[in-house]
């Protein structure tokens, strides 16, 4: 049966049957595996890795949300995560939830593998009260400008079977299929199932990085693929469409492998800059502000590149007045920049923000 965008897609179960015996695929795979191994090693060298990686995860969250036309900046999100949820703008709230979903998903991987249960948990964290589980009705993907139907996902009655097959596939050991290629295949399949009424893309991208952690290609969920997809969005959608309509997998897989390589390289270089800057901050703060210096204080300025006295006091277990005095001293010595924003007094690690941009 030929593909029709107007009818629910009869999505074939995994594994797909194709062959990509070409040199460019092997080269792309080797480059990606090498960079991922280096990224895995560098991330382990950071003190308190998940705390220090939190701002970088926000960068990924901003990029992933931008694919869904949710527009904000890393700096705005870092500011607004300090505010009560009732004061957060909707676009920043969405990004903060994405960051929280990555971190929560990573923490749950220690107890449960990627599964139907974890998928629903991630989606719930992303959409909160707008999450009602898998869709019960038929939906369609349309061109927002013309209204043209681009793709009609499988019917709602097929979702349970297809997700079960997807779950079985990612947990089946196959020595002939590299985990990175499997990651690309399973990502396509999840997006093609389109199991939710909303939030499919963001959920799918979180599952991708969690899969790499599960397969021990990474220690932490820090392969930020959304930046690459954003820069090459038209090609991404063209290749997904090509797999659906023509079952041509090779070009799509090579595209994803190239993304894994480039983003692992970019993230590794960024982490090295963060690590070096943190080391320099520790030396300089100890020299210029010896009365307040501690390793924990320096690391807190990197976990929260934008911070308030209230937040610092809470994290360090010190009084508000003491926290304010510490931040003022750090500002006077050019480690931080002070900014008033309404009722909030913000202290900004601009050197770190410049790395994250």
List the beta bridge partners of residue 142: 149
Is residue 150 within 8 Å of residue 141, measured between CB atoms?
A: yes
List the beta bridge partners of residue 340: 345
Q: Any idea where the domains of the chain sit in the sequence? A: 23-265, 289-356
| pTM for this model (two decimals) | 0.94
Residue 188's nearest CA partner among 123, 250, 96, 108 is 250
pLDDT per residue of the chain (357 residues) written in tens, 0 to 9: 579 999 999 999 999 999 998 899 999 999 999 999 999 998 888 888 877 788 889 999 999 999 988 999 999 999 999 999 889 999 999 999 999 999 999 999 989 999 999 999 999 999 998 889 999 999 999 998 899 999 999 999 999 999 999 999 999 999 999 999 999 999 999 999 999 999 999 999 999 999 999 999 999 999 989 999 999 999 999 999 999 999 999 999 999 999 999 999 999 999 999 999 999 999 999 999 999 999 999 999 999 999 999 999 999 999 999 999 999 999 999 999 999 999 999 999 999 999 998
Asked whether this chain's domains 23-265 and 289-356 adopt the same fold, the reply is no
Q: Round to whole Å and give the CA distance between 112 and 159.
A: 21
Residue 194's nearest CA partner among 11, 1, 66 is 11
Q: 23-265 has which CATH code?
A: 1.10.3290.10
Q: Round to whole Å and give the CA distance between 159 and 11.
A: 10
- Phi first, then psi: give them for residue 347, nearest 5 degrees: -120, 120
Structure tokens at 209: 């990085």
Radius of gyration of the chain (CA): 22
Exposure pattern of 259-293 as b/e (b: 16+ CB <10 Å)? Answer: bbbbbbbbbbebbeebbebbeebbeebeeebeebb
CATH 1.10.150.120 fits 289-356, yes or no: no
Residue 82's nearest CA partner among 69, 94, 92 is 92
Is residue 324 within 8 Å of residue 309, measured between CB atoms?
A: yes
Hey, is 355 helix, strand or coil? helix
Is residue 157 within 8 Å of residue 229, measured between CB atoms?
A: no
Hey, is 85 helix, strand or coil? helix
Tell me how far CA of residue 340 lies from CA of 67, 297, 303, 321, 335, in angstroms: 31, 22, 20, 17, 17
Is residue 300 within 8 Å of residue 307, measured between CB atoms?
A: yes
Q: Round to whole Å and give the CA distance between 135 and 311.
A: 39
- Cis-peptide, bond into residue 15, ω within 30° of zero: yes
Q: What pLDDT score does 130 carry?
A: 87
Q: Round to whole Å and give the CA distance between 46 and 125.
A: 27
- Phi first, then psi: give them for residue 246, nearest 5 degrees: -125, 0
């Amino acid at each position: 049966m030929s593909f029709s965008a107007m009818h629910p897609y009869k999505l074939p179960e995994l594994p797909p049957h194709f062959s990509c015996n070409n040199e460019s695929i092997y080269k792309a795979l080797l480059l990606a595996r090498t960079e991922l191994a280096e990224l895995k090693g560098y991330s382990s060298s950071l003190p308190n890795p998940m705390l220090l990686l939190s701002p970088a995860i926000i960068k990924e969250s901003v990029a992933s949300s931008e694919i869904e036309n949710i527009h904000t900046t890393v700096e705005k999100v870092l500011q607004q995560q300090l505010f009560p949820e009732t004061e957060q703008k909707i676009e920043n709230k969405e990004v903060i939830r994405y960051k929280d979903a990555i971190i929560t998903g990573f923490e749950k991987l220690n107890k449960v593998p990627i599964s139907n249960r974890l998928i629903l948990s991630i989606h719930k964290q992303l959409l909160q009260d707008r999450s009602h589980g898998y869709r019960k009705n038929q939906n369609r993907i349309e061109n927002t400008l013309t209204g043209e139907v681009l793709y009609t996902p499988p019917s709602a009655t097929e979702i349970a079977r297809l997700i079960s097959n997807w779950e079985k596939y990612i947990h089946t050991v196959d020595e002939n299929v590299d985990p990175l290629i499997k990651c690309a295949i399973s990502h396509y399949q999840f997006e093609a199932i389109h199991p939710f009424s909303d939030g499919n893309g963001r959920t799918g991208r979180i599952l991708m990085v969690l899969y790499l952690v599960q397969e021990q290609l990474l220690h932490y969920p820090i392969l930020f693929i959304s930046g690459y997809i954003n820069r090459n969005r038209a090609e991404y959608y063209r290749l997904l469409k090509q797999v659906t309509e023509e079952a041509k997998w090779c070009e799509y897989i090579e595209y994803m492998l190239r993304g894994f390589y480039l983003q692992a390289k970019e993230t590794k270089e960024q982490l090295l800059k963060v690590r070096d800057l943190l080391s320099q901050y520790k030396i300089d703060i100890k020299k210029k502000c010896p009365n307040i210096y501690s390793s924990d204080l320096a690391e807190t300025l990197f976990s929260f590149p934008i911070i308030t006295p209230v937040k610092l006091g809470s994290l360090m277990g010190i009084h508000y007045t003491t926290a304010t005095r510490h931040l003022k001293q750090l500002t006077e010595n050019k480690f931080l920049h002070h900014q008033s924003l309404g009722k909030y007094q913000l202290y900004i690690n601009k050197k770190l923000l410049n790395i994250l941009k």
